[in-house]
Structure 1
Amino acid sequence: MTLLTLAAAQSESIAGDLPANLTGHQRLMCLAAQQGVQLLVFPELSLTGYEPQLAAELAVAPDSPVLQPVRDLARELHMTTVVGMPIRLVDGGPVLIGALVLGADGSLAVYSKQHLHPGEERAFAAGRGGAPLAFAEHQIALAVCADFSHASHVQAAAQAGAAVYAAGVLISEGGYAVDSALLQGYAGEHGLLVLMANHGGPSGGWTCAGRSAAWGPTGELLAAVEGTGEALLIVRGEAGRWQAEVLPLER
């Protein structure tokens, strides 16, 4: 099988500051490309921070010119990159929690969070998910945070042939034990590589846990970031044979 290198970007977001966060994303993208990463996944709403009260103001169309710098860089680096952004699919439409897939070939695809946490409906509408990503014979299913709390979401991904389940999330210190155990359980139950990209610093009033992680298809923990702060968690291999490492970063 074709070898695959993918990574979770544990990033820190500045609340509502899209220009600063774009710069931070570009830095992490360049560092990931130096490691040969083919797919890089950022946390939920990584480009704005998890700021529901600002979402309507910050929401853009997926093909907005303000996102062109990261789209261009993904193409230049030949690295598909998944970034988090509040989006509207039509002018005046509802605000969705988007995971934008910036293709290595310059393409653009949209995944929108299907399952909302209680209270998120005040700022967001539920989305419709999105198509899996294909890297040679590897099929990669995406998720955004609360999506994975629904067993049917990951089950559908596995039944559709996904070998990798990649989730961009915001998980707090208080929720980490339960959520990480759930993701680990899915890995073993469905024989998946599960990759989780969490925020590395506070966002939206939450004390985020960091500790982005990857679990192998028998449920074993391959690697996890030790705590908060920015880091890349890099996974290399093929179905059933994965190795992972953590690259801590300094801002």
Structure 2
Amino acid sequence: MPSLLCIAAAQSISAPGEVRANVQGHLSMVHEAARHGVQLLVFPELSLTGYEPSLVAGLVLDAQDAALAPLRDAARATGMALVVGAPVAPVVAGDKPAIGAWVFGADGSAALYRKRYLHPGEEQFASAGNEDVFLRTLAGQPTGLAVCADTTHPEHALAARHGGAALYACGSVISEGGYARDSSQLQGYAADLGLGVLMANHGAPTGGYVCAGRSAFWAPGGEAVVAAPGAGACLVIASRQGLAWQGRVVDVVAQ
């Protein structure tokens, strides 16, 4: 019998600048996800700090920071790959911090992706990454990572697909006003490129944005498998047995 693939978007709620508190909130979602057999859990953009431009420079996190040890340990203990958002060191020393996604593997590994395409205005507090594609095997699937505005550049998803990605996973900050446009584009990547597309959005306002929530997964071919109904803390879980996808939303008590 084909093995089960189970992935999820963590629609989390971030306390502005409170890294340790946000780590605890992340752990609550990790433990709940483990109960449902999730193998890959993706959090929103800058999930560990909130999307707070004025705080980015003072909140740069390294994978070895003690504050992140509980997440590294949880990935190993649960056998689950975690993708979490945080400000990180830039590509070039002396530049502004980058907007990063730390990948903590079930094997104890840590990898870093820096947001390749900044949203207009982000250059005031952040610098861009320099990798056109960041591909890792997560939950046994070749997975291309993206952070928010990356997904508005079709060449980014195309590079992931040409690199061999089967999944395209993004952590985002998407408002109600931008949701229809952004979700349509993501669904288009699933339909046109044959990618499974997982999007994790914030579950509450952050950095002045009233986030829409509505984290979602689209199957290869473009089927909308599952989406959160709105804002609030929850897991959006998509699982595949053979070729058939199914989804469910699990509410999580915000910490």
TM-score range, shorter chain: over 0.9
1:39 aligns to 2:40 (yes or no): yes
TM-score (norm 2): 0.94
Equivalent in the alignment of 1:146: 149
Structure 2 residue identity aligned to 1:30: H
Equivalent in the alignment of 1:112: 114
Structure 1 residue 94: deviation in Å? Answer: 3.0
1:125 aligned residue (120, 124, 127):
127
Cα distance, 1:108–1:136 mapped onto 2, change above 3 Å? closer
Q: Deviations over 1:45-99 (max 9, x none)?
A: 0000000110001112232222112111111111110000001158755301000
C-alpha distance in structure 2 between counterparts of 1:110 and 1:139, whole Å: 16
Q: Please, what is the CA RMSD of the aligned residues? A: 1.6
Equivalent in the alignment of 2:104: 102
Q: Which moved more, 1:123-132 or 1:178-187?
A: 123-132
Structure 1 residue identity aligned to 2:28: R
TM-score (norm 1): 0.95
- Preserved contact between residue 40 and residue 138 of structure 2 (Cα < 8 Å): no
Q: Deviations over 1:90-126 (max 9, x none)?
A: 8755301000001111110001100000000000000
1:19 aligns to 2:20 (yes or no): yes
1:165 aligns to 2:168 (yes or no): yes
Question: After TM superposition, what 4+ stretches of structure 1 lie above 4 angstroms from structure 2?
Answer: 89-93
Structure 2 residue identity aligned to 1:40: L
- SS for the counterpart of 1:32 is helix
- SS for the counterpart of 2:176 is coil
C-alpha distance in structure 1 between counterparts of 2:54 and 2:140, whole Å: 41
- Preserved contact between residue 185 and residue 219 of structure 1 (Cα < 8 Å): yes
- Preserved contact between residue 102 and residue 111 of structure 2 (Cα < 8 Å): yes
Equivalent in the alignment of 2:206: 203
- Preserved contact between residue 163 and residue 239 of structure 1 (Cα < 8 Å): no
Structure 2 residue identity aligned to 1:51: E
Structure 1 residue identity aligned to 2:187: Q
Q: Which runs of 5+ in 1 are unaligned?
A: none
Cα distance, 1:26–1:136 mapped onto 2, change above 3 Å? closer
Question: What is the percent sequence identity of the aligned residues?
Answer: 51
Q: What is the number of equivalent residue pairs in this alignment?
A: 251
- SS for the counterpart of 1:56 is helix
